[in-house]
């Protein structure tokens, strides 16, 4: 594996090996000395052409724990905001000797363009491209689900996941549909019809417009951020109405099975798609998703840059 552009490029074994590597690395993270020397002398560039705090920090922490040198390159104040093309930026990074570029970009396919056009020789890691994919988020979500509900299995066979909210504009949803179904989970998308893409019928999922009919049937409820501005684009009549039908509040949470968990990729709109009580409840693994994110991103960097997955230690 040279790049991580789409979950669609992974087979089941590759996906599981990243999760397993993350398990191994998490043992190190939990220890006294959090740092590994694996990527000493390697340079990783965080090219964030779109605002994102948590993903950038997560990748930065992951790279630093593997002893890589990290250069942060953000849109604001950089040449990207002055109209420099992606091509010129990539060639600049290449000239600076980047071994890997972690790219967040508002254009779907930007990461693949960067990789395909050979503008630079290093690895390309997609940290979210437009409304296309967010593979590292899906991997950390799968990692979190497996940890809580996997019962020791390597994949997610038989686990039922509801992804709730704005599927149409969600790169998190696209990557999760691919990864969770690759790992054997059953996925149901819950959304108003306006926020599902035409063509969703070809996805390996079931569709529901009725959150209440689904909520007692699933092991995982994954809430997606809903942007307020979607309202002005006529996707739903009002934030309150959206919240009433598709928000996760305490009453709905009470109907979830006892073991079921609540997830959210962040940042949350408390009071819109998720109530504060739910977000802060014992069912919520939202904060844990963040810490798992660092381990999973370490695993991604490890697999791409250190020449393969970390072997499971025997104990």
Partner 1 sequence: MINNSYILRNASLLGATKSDIHISHGVIKEIGSVVISDSATVIDIAGQIVLPGLVDLHTHVREPGREDSETVLSASRAGAKGGFTALSAMANTSPVADTAGVVEQVFRLGQEAGYLNVFPIGAVTHALEGKALSEIGAMADSIARVRVFSDDGFCVSDPLVMRRALEYIKKFDGVIAQHAQEPRLTVGSQMNEGDISARLGLKGWPAIAEEAIIARDVLLVDHVKSRLHICHVTTAGGVEIIRWAKARGIQVSAEVTPHHLLLTDDLANSYDPIYKVNPPLRTEKDVMALREALADGTIDIVATDHAPHSSETKDCEWQEAAFGMIGLETALSIVYKTMVQTKLMDWAAVADRLSIAPAKIGHYDQHSQGLTVGAPAHITVINPENNWTVDRDLVLSKSRNTPYHGMELPGVVTHTFFNGVATLLDTKVVSEVMN
Would you tell me which residues interact with partner 1 (CB under 8 A)? 85-87, 105, 107-110, 112-113, 116-117, 129-133, 171, 174, 197-200, 202-203
- Quote the least distance from Cβ 209 to partner 1, whole Å: 17
- Quote the least distance from Cβ 120 to partner 1, whole Å: 14
* Token pair listed for 275: 């109530």
Nearest residue (CB) to partner 1, 171 versus 225: 171
Q: Are 308 and 148 in contact (CB under 8 A)?
A: no
Q: Are 96 and 43 in contact (CB under 8 A)?
A: yes
Nearest residue (CB) to partner 1, 130 versus 184: 130
- Quote the least distance from Cβ 202 to partner 1, whole Å: 4
- Quote the least distance from Cβ 168 to partner 1, whole Å: 9
- Quote the least distance from Cβ 280 to partner 1, whole Å: 32
Q: Are 166 and 224 in contact (CB under 8 A)?
A: yes
- Quote the least distance from Cβ 215 to partner 1, whole Å: 25
Nearest residue (CB) to partner 1, 33 versus 201: 201
**CA torsion angle 163 168 172 176 (round to 10):** 50
Strand-pairing partners, residue 102, are: 46, 125
Cα–Cα distance measured from residue 220 to residue 223, given in angstroms and rounded to the nearest whole number: 10
Nearest residue (CB) to partner 1, 31 versus 199: 199
Nearest residue (CB) to partner 1, 60 versus 166: 166
Nearest residue (CB) to partner 1, 109 versus 271: 109
* DSSP state letters, 185-251: -EEEEE--GGGS-TTGGGSSSEEES-HHHHGGG-SEEEE----GGGGTTTSSS-HHHHHHHH-B-HH
Cα–Cα distance measured from residue 175 to residue 204, given in angstroms and rounded to the nearest whole number: 12
């Amino acid at each position: 594996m040279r790049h991580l552009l789409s979950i669609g490029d992974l087979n089941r074994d590759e996906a599981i090996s990243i999760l397993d590597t993350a398990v191994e690395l998490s043992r190190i993270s939990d220890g006294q000395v959090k740092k590994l020397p694996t990527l000493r002398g390697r340079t990783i560039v965080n090219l964030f052409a779109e605002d994102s705090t948590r993903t950038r920090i997560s990748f930065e922490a992951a790279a630093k724990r593997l002893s890589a040198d990290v250069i942060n390159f953000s849109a604001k104040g950089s040449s990207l905001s002055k109209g420099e093309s992606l091509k010129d930026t990539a060639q600049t990074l290449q000239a600076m000797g980047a071994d890997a570029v972690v790219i967040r970009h508002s254009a779907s396919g930007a990461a693949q363009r960067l990789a395909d056009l050979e503008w630079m020789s290093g690895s390309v890691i997609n940290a979210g491209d437009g409304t296309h994919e967010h593979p590292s988020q899906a991997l950390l979500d799968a990692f979190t689900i497996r940890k809580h509900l996997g019962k020791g299995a390597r994949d997610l066979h038989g686990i039922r996941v509801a992804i709730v909210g704005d599927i149409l504009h969600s790169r998190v949803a696209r990557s999760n549909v691919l990864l969770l179904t690759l790992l054997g989970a059953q996925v149901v998308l819950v959304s108003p019809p306006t926020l599902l893409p035409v063509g969703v019928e070809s996805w390996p999922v079931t569709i529901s417009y009725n959150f209440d009919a689904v909520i007692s049937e699933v092991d995982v409820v994954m809430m997606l951020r809903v942007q307020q501005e979607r309202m002005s684009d006529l996707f739903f009549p009002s934030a309150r109405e959206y919240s009433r039908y598709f928000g996760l509040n305490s009453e709905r949470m009470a109907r979830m099975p006892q073991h079921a968990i609540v997830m959210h990729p962040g940042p949350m709109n408390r009071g819109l798609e998720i109530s504060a009580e739910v977000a802060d409840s014992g069912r919520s693994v939202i904060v844990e998703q963040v810490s798992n994110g660092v381990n999973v991103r370490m695993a991604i960097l490890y697999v791409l840059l250190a020449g393969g997955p970390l072997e499971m230690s025997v104990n």
